[in-house]
Amino acid sequence: MDRLLVVEDDAAIGQALTTGLLAGGYDVRWARTGGSALELAVDEPVDLVVLDVGLPDLDGYEVCRELRRLRPQAVIVMLTARQEEMDVVTGLESGADDYLTKPFRLAELLARVRAHLRRAAADDSVPRTVVLGSLAVDVRGRIATVGGVDVVLRAREFDLLSRLAAGAGTAVSREDLMHDVWDENWFGSTKTLDVHMAALRRRLADAAATDPEAARHLPVIVTLRGFGYRLQTA
Ligand code: CA
């Protein structure tokens, strides 16, 4: 059973979310503070976190960064009352995979949760490793290595890399990436894709930084202006 962690200090909202998600068939923990959420994430594996940005003890974005560090593969859905694009970008840069603005319907959250977890499970059913230069992407194990060394990627960064690797050498449109890596429910701007792509490039380059041989054979993600991207050998 998928394990969910709800981080919400508002008692009424927290109770409603917990009850709704339990009814949806998930194993749910509820933390009322950022501190207790991090303690839970240390103690137990978690597949998906529903994280309120406005918490009494810690900054929600900071909690997000720490959760991401503790559980790199977990999906993080942020909840916020704010709507400025700046906050969306801050959330994504903190490691969030998705974003819901309060007030929202429980059915909407459940749909997003199902879509995210279904995608994660589908990834597990594909027995395939793509090797390109010094990069190896184990799609099933959700492991990426450069020169044999693990690259720590966030869930959506790994999805992006998998999608590009699956079509290595061919152009993938922005629309296809948004559709395959996020889903049709995603309401955010295409900035989301740019932020994740920049992070992915940075992480791959960092992974190769100490190994000149790996760096020389690291594939590049080419930007195709007005279209999308192509992953190709250097
Ligand atoms: Ca709150």
- Cβ burial, residue 225 (10 Å; 0-12/13-18/19+): exposed
Q: State residue 17's pLDDT score.
A: 96
C-alpha of residue 109 to centroid of ligand 1, in Å: 17
Q: 76 CB contacts (<8 Å, ≥6 apart)?
A: 48, 49, 51, 64, 67, 68, 95, 96, 97, 98, 155
Share of the chain above pLDDT 70, in %: 92
Q: State residue 91's pLDDT score.
A: 80
Does residue 87 carry a pLDDT above 60? yes
Question: Any idea what DSSP says for residue 54?
Answer: B
Q: What is the pTM of this model?
A: 0.59
C-alpha of residue 111 to centroid of ligand 1, in Å: 22
Does residue 62 carry a pLDDT above 90? yes
Q: State residue 121's pLDDT score.
A: 74
C-alpha of residue 102 to centroid of ligand 1, in Å: 10
- In this prediction, residue 84 has a pLDDT band, given cuts at 50, 70 and 90, of low
Q: Report the amino acid identity of residue 13.
A: I
Looking up tokens 């998998």 gives 162
**Sign (positive or negative) of CA dihedral 104, 110, 25, 34:** negative
